[in-house]
């Protein structure tokens, strides 16, 4: 799948694997009209992530063998040589690197490190590591943010916020019973550390932990409070709002009609400080695709308002991205691509989407910043496509 990013000026980048060799990483730069130049060969590896700052500096991070790599490109230039941020040792592994930038053009690369497996009798140790780069400088030494795996973002004050799922297990080898637990937690701090937390938000088991940041350094977290490991990924959708300098609420349930069919929480903050939560509910218990999109919003310390349907019965690959100014854009596949824009005053309203049909069950990539959004997808003919558009005000 193509990985995409865009900044507030409409400058964008798209990354994908070469057709002749999927581990050859190609990156193309685009302008506000969606015109992309010739791709550059940046390195070799997999699980890439991209970001582009408002000053035009672009970043690509990926895994190569047992190492996390990153390459940087100043505006108007080519990508320089890659730098190794971390190398796993022994039986440990690294995976899922993600690049994020803030409005000051500072950047972080976060990734997961793992030792062991989730099999009965084994010990699974997971943690989130990060390297930070101040604008115009080099990436610093890696540091550990938290135990578990999850998502790492900047808040509006430049602090780092990590929402993680902490998984733990106990017991012997099969068939001797063993137990597992997983909870949603939040950790935050300066990009150079130290990090405060963890703050545990959920009971166990929790799955699919998501995070959003908003005005006033608010942090919103959503997760699936599943009925048990066998029911993953279905269960009540729960949320909590807080901040790095204040406490977090007790879990607040989204207005889900059938909790045993609900899954896939996505969150963003509106301009008025409300937390917007989107999820899906299966129409039939055995269906893999008939799952409409629903949404609801609430303010800190309050219950959700009424739920509303965003899209009907055969939705796949929904993606939500915040613009950073209190709006949010949503894209999904309904045969053809569809899009909607969220504003605090009016909720979600349909907007024009890129022309094309996405391959079923292939993830759509979406990023937004200010008035611009970029969508990346693989079409029904197997071609990788990306489209940049200016969002309506």
Cα 350 to Cα 347: distance, rounded to the nearest angstrom: 10
Q: What is the mean pLDDT of residues 215-244?
A: 87
pLDDT at 177 over 60: no
- The predicted-structure confidence for 259-300, as pLDDT tens digits, reads as follows 989 999 999 999 999 999 999 999 887 776 679 999 999 999
SS (H, E, C) 107-168: EEEEEEEEECCCCCCCCCEEEEEEEEECCCCCCCCCEEEEECEEEEEECCCCCEEEEEEEEE
pLDDT at 193: 86
The pLDDT-based confidence of 61 (bands split at 50, 70, 90) is very high
Average pLDDT, integer, range 230-250: 88
Q: Is 70 exceeded by the pLDDT of residue 232?
A: no
24 vs 43: CA distance, rounded Å: 6
CA distance 17 to 312: 33
Q: Using the predicted structure, report yes or no on whether residue 65 has a pLDDT greater than 90.
A: yes
pTM of the full structure:
0.93
Distance CA 389, CA 30 (A): 11
- Give the pLDDT mean for 300-329: 94
Q: Is a pLDDT exceeding 70 seen at residue 120?
A: no
């Amino acid at each position: 799948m193509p990985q995409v990013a865009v900044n507030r000026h409409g400058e964008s980048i798209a990354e994908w694997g070469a057709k002749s060799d999927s581990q050859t990483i190609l990156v193309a730069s685009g302008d506000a009209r969606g015109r992309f130049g010739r791709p550059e060969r940046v390195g070799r590896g997999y699980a890439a992530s991209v970001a582009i700052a408002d000053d035009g500096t672009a970043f690509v991070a990926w895994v190569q063998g047992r190492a996390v790599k990153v390459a940087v490109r100043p505006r108007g230039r080519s990508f320089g040589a890659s730098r190794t941020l971390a190398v796993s040792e022994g039986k440990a592994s690294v995976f899922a690197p993600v690049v994020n930038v803030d409005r000051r053009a500072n950047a972080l690369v976060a990734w997961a490190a793992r030792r062991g497996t989730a099999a009965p009798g084994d010990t699974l140790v997971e943690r989130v590591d990060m390297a930070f780069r101040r604008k115009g400088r080099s990436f610093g030494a890696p540091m550990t943010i938290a135990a578990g795996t999850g998502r790492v973002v900047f808040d509006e004050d430049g602090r780092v916020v990590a929402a993680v799922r902490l998984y733990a297990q106990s017991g012997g080898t099969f068939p001797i019973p063993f137990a597992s637990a997983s909870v949603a937690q939040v950790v935050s701090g300066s990009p150079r550390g130290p990090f405060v937390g963890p703050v545990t938000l959920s009971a166990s088991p929790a799955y699919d932990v998501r995070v959003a940041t908003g005005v006033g350094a608010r942090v919103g977290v959503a997760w699936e409070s599943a009925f048990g490991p066998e029911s993953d990924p279905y269960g009540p959708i729960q949320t909590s709002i807080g901040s790095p300098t204040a406490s977090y609420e007790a879990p607040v349930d989204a207005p889900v009609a059938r909790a045993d069919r609900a899954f896939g929480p996505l969150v963003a903050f509106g301009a008025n400080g409300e937390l917007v939560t989107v999820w899906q509910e299966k129409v039939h218990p055995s269906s893999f695709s008939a799952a409409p999109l629903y949404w609801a919003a609430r303010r800190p310390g309050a219950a959700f308002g009424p739920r509303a349907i965003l899209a009907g019965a055969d939705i796949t690959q929904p993606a939500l991205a915040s613009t950073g100014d209190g709006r949010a854009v949503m894209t999904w596949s309904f045969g053809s691509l569809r899009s909607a824009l969220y504003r605090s005053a009016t909720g979600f309203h349909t907007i024009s989407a890129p022309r094309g049909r996405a391959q079923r069950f292939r993830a759509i990539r979406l990023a937004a910043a200010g008035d611009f959004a970029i969508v990346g997808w693989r079409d029904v003919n197997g071609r990788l496509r990306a489209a940049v558009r200016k969002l309506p005000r």
